[in-house]
Amino acid sequence: MRCRAHITKRFNNGLANKTGNFAAPVFALLYDRRRTDRGRPMHISSDELNRLKGLGLLRNKDSDRFSARVVTGYGMLDTQQLQTLQEAAERFGIGRVVLTTRLSVELPGIPYESVDELCTFLKGSGLETGGTGKKVRPIVCCKGTTCQHGLLDSYSIAAEMHRRFYLGYHDVTLPHKFKIAVGGCPNNCVKPNLNDVGVTGWRGGFRITLGGRWGKEHTIGRPMDRIFPEKEEMLDVVEKAILLFRERGMDGERFCATIERLGFENVQAMLLEDDLLRRKDTILAGFRSQST
């Protein structure tokens, strides 16, 4: 077997040949700093790893270090927050900031003993780690607010959804992850129909799709039979979908499986009524965690 140093050298050289000269890539930086006790990763209990994962701190492969997933809200950061991320990556990590497919940011290579200090540092600029677990995940949206094709203000809608659903339900454990996306027009750039609930700008209002997912298995979300002309009505339907999933979803199943089991027409009928919102406190009782 070839030694890891030789493999790392070839990896670095191959990247440099393709993209030009640059600082060492993440793979090499993690390898240089990730081992303790003469090459053995330290033991971290499964309970502690689960606790950290719930906080958005994901252990790097074969390593004592973690990637800190920083929630951006809906992919928008101010310049002060960008400076904070730069300083955090240099101070606690390996000097790298990684963008995720769902508009969050990850800081790889954080030592286990530094994760609490990192989280405290990020909070000083209004940033926090998270976006994992059986919960409402961070909202994603396209740039419909500024795009010439946009039929809705995607940034403001996503910001309101972030406050109402991501933060508002942050302590609620669901049967599985629950993803929401906001698209500005039928061009479908952000793929709302591949999310548990998708909202798309449409002539006359908002189109809502239900039961999409993407991954090892994928399902195209089905649009509801009507267009919603008012934003508040649309937001209420999204919240009712979360409540329905909490009440009727089975542990471990995605929302698409809940819809298939209950029947799309039945689900749609429940989302068009207000009973779920009236019973919100009862539905959520017992499913809110003591700490967020």
Same domain, 121 and 230: no
Same domain, 154 and 59: no
Same domain, 150 and 112: no
Which pLDDT score is estimated for 188? 96
Here the tokens at position 164 are 């109402």
Does residue 263 lie in a domain region?
Answer: yes
SS3 195: coil
Same domain, 38 and 27: no
Which pLDDT score is estimated for 32? 52
**Helices within 125-193 (DSSP H only):** 154-161
Same domain, 186 and 269: yes
Here the tokens at position 36 are 């303790």
Does residue 290 lie in a domain region?
Answer: no
CA distance linking residue 199 with residue 241, whole number of Å: 12
Same domain, 163 and 118: no
Check: CB of residue 93 under 8 Å from CB of residue 129: no
Check: CB of residue 86 under 8 Å from CB of residue 93: no
Does residue 214 lie in a domain region?
Answer: yes
Give the residue from 129, 150, 169 where a domain finishes.
129
Reported as a single tens digit per residue, the pLDDT across 205-252 is 999 999 999 999 999 999 999 999 999 999 999 999 999 999 999 999
Does residue 99 lie in a domain region?
Answer: yes
Check: CB of residue 148 under 8 Å from CB of residue 187: no
CA distance linking residue 76 with residue 91, whole number of Å: 23
CA distance linking residue 209 with residue 37, whole number of Å: 52
Does residue 135 lie in a domain region?
Answer: no
Q: Please tell me the pTM assigned to this model.
A: 0.86
Same domain, 212 and 244: yes
Give the residue from 104, 129, 154 where a domain finishes.
129
Which pLDDT score is estimated for 252? 97
Q: Domain range holding 73?
A: 34-129
Give the residue from 103, 129, 155 where a domain finishes.
129
Same domain, 146 and 259: yes
CA distance linking residue 274 with residue 239, whole number of Å: 11
CA distance linking residue 214 with residue 220, whole number of Å: 8
Residues 6+ apart with CB under 8 A from 241: 196, 197, 210, 255, 271
**Helices within 162-254 (DSSP H only):** 231-248
Does residue 165 lie in a domain region?
Answer: yes
Same domain, 186 and 119: no
Same domain, 104 and 179: no
CA distance linking residue 278 with residue 220, whole number of Å: 30
Reported as a single tens digit per residue, the pLDDT across 98-122 is 999 999 999 999 999 999 999 999 9
Residues 6+ apart with CB under 8 A from 128: 56, 70, 71, 119, 122
Residues β-bridged to residue 105: 70, 99
Same domain, 184 and 275: yes
Here the tokens at position 222 are 């089905």
Domains identified in the chain, total number? 3
Which pLDDT score is estimated for 40? 59
Here the tokens at position 174 are 């669901």
Same domain, 240 and 109: no
